[in-house]
Amino acid sequence: MADKKVCQSLCRMCDDHCGINVYLEDGKLVDIDGNKDHVWNRGRLCIKGRAGVDMINAKDRIRKPLKKTENGWEEISLQQALEEISEKIKDIQSKYGERAMSVWKGEAIGFAQQEEIARRFIHAIGSPNYFSNDSECFVGRWIGYSLVYGRWNSQPEFENSRCMVLWGANPPHAHPNMTQQINRARDKGAKLIVVDSRLSAIARQADIFVKLKPGTDGAFAWGLIKELIENDMLHKEFIENYTTGFDKIKEYAKSFTYDYVAKETGVDAQNLIPMIAKEMYSAMPSVVNYVGNGLEHHENGINNIRAVACFDGLLAAVDAKGGNYSPIGFPLKELTLYHEKPLTELEPIGADKFPVLYHYRQECHTMTAMNTILTQEPYPLKGMIIAGANPVLTNPNSEKVIKALSDLDLLVVRELFMSETAELADYILPAASYLERSELHCHGGYQVIGLTPRVMKPEEDVQDEFQFFHDLAHKLGAGDYFPWENEDELNKWLVSDSGVSLEEIKAHPEGYNYAPKKYAKYIEASKNGKAFNTPSGKFEFACEYLKDLGYQEIPEYISPVYNTEEKREYPYTLITGARKVMYYHGRNRNFERLRTACPTPEIELHPLDAKKLGVVDNDIVKVTSTIGSITIPVKVMHHKEIGEGVAQITHGWKESNVNMITHDDRFDPIDGFPLMKAVEVKIEKVEQ
């Protein structure tokens, strides 16, 4: 008789962490389904959730450390791998200095505990050079909102909202559970407004859809700001008591006439702006403005995001019930060493060029890292450990990424599979999957914390991130910074100041509720002169900190470059990276059940553009930007689904890697995010 067991944990096939039941037979994973009691997903799983079984049991999983030799990959023992890697690190650091080593964490190991372990490790061994996927992920939104009112919330309170405005976000594909929240609010009468350059899955459900040209969200937001101000549709008491800079935005908004907004965005501003402003105002303060990834990868991204953040002040939606509620965090102990060992004197890479990114996030700039490796300027960067990332497919200008990573003296990649980045490594180390490690996770929106217990024992040479960084730190003489023997001990330490034990958290697989919600916390906080966590202590429509650094004080709108040129050599505007529910960046293409649902990459084209190019579905086109070219099959969309002159390619396909043509040389000047949406391209038919 097989030994059958069911364990409760959290899914980590994406960062949503849905509650799951894990079914094991004789220790082997046989199935995963949803935990009906979990506050977040209430029993639902998306298609990737169950595919956790495919990932963990995959035949092509890397299970042994691999070393690159002249004869190809050679399997070696974990101990030998760790020994050789530590010797090489010592060698690099003694020749070129401590800062010649770096760590790069990816989306697969998340944004919490394991990220902090990676940060801790690199500082513990004396280098400030911590890189991550965050340089092109949520950090643009995080910084944009932090500049305005001190924080960004990834889980606004849709449930209680009466008006939800989504800017460049598509939850049905990217955050399925958010869609459930949105639908529950709509059942109670809430309005859904979607601002996107494509008729996305969520746009199809919207009461009002604004199909604007890529990168022009700022113009539309300013049009709405003008409408609200000029019609006195405002929360005056909030503006008077808790904000700064209102008069400046009032003045600036004047030039955003319907005509100008229509010209910039390509939408019927005269009709849409009054309609949306009315919906927002009548729902005040229970209005959610939620910004997605669609606003981040632009040269004017941060200011567009800041402009949207202004609605939370104009309508007092910040920290409001049904607005952008600011969750109370769980008091975990600090794992990073930024207070103890900041190392800023060692010039973290990119901190001089993008001081706001470093100041707010202590994040080095990944695109600058590639140039540093290739030029050795301002100093040599010779070694890198990459954990849970595949920058060859996910970072702009992939050809440069390949060149740079190949140039390193030491590249170690921690992976489950032979990725395009792992192929460049000197050593590949087999990483534990999410069911083979243990970590704490907070669902901020519900103020619950959960623990993912280690439900399966990893194979002999497979290590979790903690154990790897722990062992390496000990070999490198930095063991004092890793005093915990294993993840369980670390988890205990992390909660030790919280008043809640690990056992209590473990006993609540549905989510341990650690604090009741409390709205409008700024009222109490203002008594100490700090209503918001900004330099002025106020909600900042205008930002002196940015002004002092030479940036615009208010979130001025700058038209995207493609929108200002009359005759364009690269006449199409390419959006990249629109999520597809079955894939996750470069992941999941090797799982048959997901691959069959969407077998090939594709470029989404407007039917008139397809006609002009003389192409139909599945024809191949060549797409060229100033960075490079790729070829890709065509998918002709309905004319309502995408704008004329606009095209879309989802990233993560090695066959047609769109990041071969995205920009590492064009940035948002404030946070350094690369231009990956609104890329100017030309498209030509490839005769077959």
For ligand MGD, the binding residues (CB under 6 A) are 14, 106-109, 133, 136-138, 167-171, 173-175, 195-198, 200, 214-215, 217, 292-295, 297, 387-391, 393-394, 414-417, 419, 431, 433-434, 575-579, 581, 583-587, 651, 658-659, 662, 676-677
From the list ligand MGD, Mo ion, ligand SF4, none, pick the one residue 49 interacts with, judged by a Cβ distance below 5 to 8 Å according to partner type. Answer: ligand SF4
CB of 138 to Mo ion, least distance (A): 6
Half-sphere exposure of residue 659: CA atoms within 13 angstroms, side-chain side? 26
CA distance 175 to 290: 12
Q: Quick one: which segment of 6-14, 97-105, 414-422, 560-568 binds ligand SF4 (CB under 6 A)?
A: 6-14
Token look-up 């800023």 returns 344
Q: What are the residues facing 66 on neighbouring strands?
A: 75, 428
CB of 302 to Mo ion, least distance (A): 16
CA distance 326 to 317: 10
Instruction: Tell me whether residue 45 or residue 661 sits nearer to ligand SF4 (CB atom).
Output: 45
Instruction: List CB contacts of 205: < 8 A, sequence separation 6 or more.
Output: 183, 186, 192, 194
CA distance 413 to 391: 11
CB of 291 to Mo ion, least distance (A): 13
- Interaction of residue 17 with ligand SF4, rule CB under 6 A: yes
From the list Mo ion, ligand SF4, ligand MGD, none, pick the one residue 391 interacts with, judged by a Cβ distance below 5 to 8 Å according to partner type. Answer: ligand MGD
Instruction: Tell me whether residue 35 or residue 133 sits nearer to Mo ion (CB atom).
Output: 133
CB of 28 to ligand SF4, least distance (A): 20
From the list ligand SF4, ligand MGD, Mo ion, none, pick the one residue 176 interacts with, judged by a Cβ distance below 5 to 8 Å according to partner type. Answer: ligand SF4
Instruction: List CB contacts of 527: < 8 A, sequence separation 6 or more.
Output: none
Q: What are the residues facing 682 on neighbouring strands?
A: 624
Cα-atom radius of gyration of the chain, to the nearest Å? 25
CB of 464 to ligand SF4, least distance (A): 19
From the list ligand SF4, Mo ion, ligand MGD, none, pick the one residue 169 interacts with, judged by a Cβ distance below 5 to 8 Å according to partner type. Answer: ligand MGD
From the list ligand SF4, Mo ion, ligand MGD, none, pick the one residue 17 interacts with, judged by a Cβ distance below 5 to 8 Å according to partner type. Answer: ligand SF4
- Interaction of residue 348 with ligand SF4, rule CB under 6 A: no
CA distance 233 to 344: 46
Token look-up 């205990």 returns 492
8-state DSSP, 155: S
Of the candidates 17, 352, 32, 340, the one whose C-alpha atom is nearest the C-alpha of residue 154 is 17
Contact 413, 422 (CB under 8 A): yes
Helix (H) or strand (E) holding 307: helix 301-314
CA distance 56 to 436: 9
Q: How many chain residues are in contact with ligand SF4, going by CB under 6 A?
A: 12
- Interaction of residue 107 with ligand SF4, rule CB under 6 A: no
According to CB under 6 A, which residues from 37 to 96 bind ligand SF4? 41, 45-46, 48-49
CB of 184 to ligand SF4, least distance (A): 17
**Structure tokens belonging to residue 278:** 């009315």
CB of 206 to ligand MGD, least distance (A): 12
518-551 burial by CB neighbour count: b if 16+ within 10 A, else e?
Answer: ebbebeebeeeeebbebebbbbbbbbeebeeeeb
CB of 13 to ligand SF4, least distance (A): 4
From the list ligand MGD, Mo ion, ligand SF4, none, pick the one residue 18 interacts with, judged by a Cβ distance below 5 to 8 Å according to partner type. Answer: ligand SF4
Task: Give CA angle at 15 (162, 655), nearest 5°.
Answer: 115
Integer CA distances (angstroms), 367 to 135, 155, 392, 419, 582, in order: 9, 28, 12, 20, 28
CA distance 452 to 642: 41
From the list ligand SF4, Mo ion, ligand MGD, none, pick the one residue 365 interacts with, judged by a Cβ distance below 5 to 8 Å according to partner type. Answer: none
Instruction: Tell me whether residue 395 or residue 447 sits nearer to ligand MGD (CB atom).
Output: 395
Instruction: Tell me whether residue 292 or residue 450 sits nearer to Mo ion (CB atom).
Output: 292
Pairing of strands 383-387, 410-415: parallel
Which residue has the closest beta carbon to ligand MGD?
Answer: 577
From the list ligand MGD, Mo ion, ligand SF4, none, pick the one residue 11 interacts with, judged by a Cβ distance below 5 to 8 Å according to partner type. Answer: ligand SF4
Q: Quick one: which segment of 12-20, 108-116, 372-380, 433-441 binds ligand SF4 (CB under 6 A)?
A: 12-20
Of the candidates 378, 345, 365, 342, the one whose C-alpha atom is nearest the C-alpha of residue 96 is 378
For 297, phi then psi, to 5°, come to -90, 55
Token look-up 């902090």 returns 116
**Structure tokens belonging to residue 202:** 């969520």
Q: What are the residues facing 165 on neighbouring strands?
A: 193, 289
- Work out which of 8, 9, 14, 669 binds ligand SF4, going by CB under 6 A: 14
Q: State which amino acid sits at residue 157.
A: E
Instruction: Tell me whether residue 93 or residue 573 sits nearer to ligand MGD (CB atom).
Output: 573
- Interaction of residue 643 with ligand SF4, rule CB under 6 A: no
According to CB under 5 A, which residues from 98 to 157 bind Mo ion? 137
According to CB under 6 A, which residues from 166 to 205 bind ligand SF4? 176
The 3-class SS string of 460-493 reads CCCECHHHHHHHHHHHCCCHHHCCCCCHHHHHHH
- Interaction of residue 425 with ligand SF4, rule CB under 6 A: no
- Interaction of residue 508 with ligand SF4, rule CB under 6 A: no
CA distance 94 to 382: 12
- Interaction of residue 443 with ligand SF4, rule CB under 6 A: no
- Interaction of residue 29 with ligand SF4, rule CB under 6 A: no
Instruction: Tell me whether residue 515 or residue 597 sits nearer to ligand MGD (CB atom).
Output: 597
- Interaction of residue 11 with ligand SF4, rule CB under 6 A: yes
From the list ligand MGD, ligand SF4, Mo ion, none, pick the one residue 13 interacts with, judged by a Cβ distance below 5 to 8 Å according to partner type. Answer: ligand SF4
| Residues near Mo ion, by CB under 5 A | 137
| Residues near ligand SF4, by CB under 6 A | 11, 13-14, 16-18, 41, 45-46, 48-49, 176
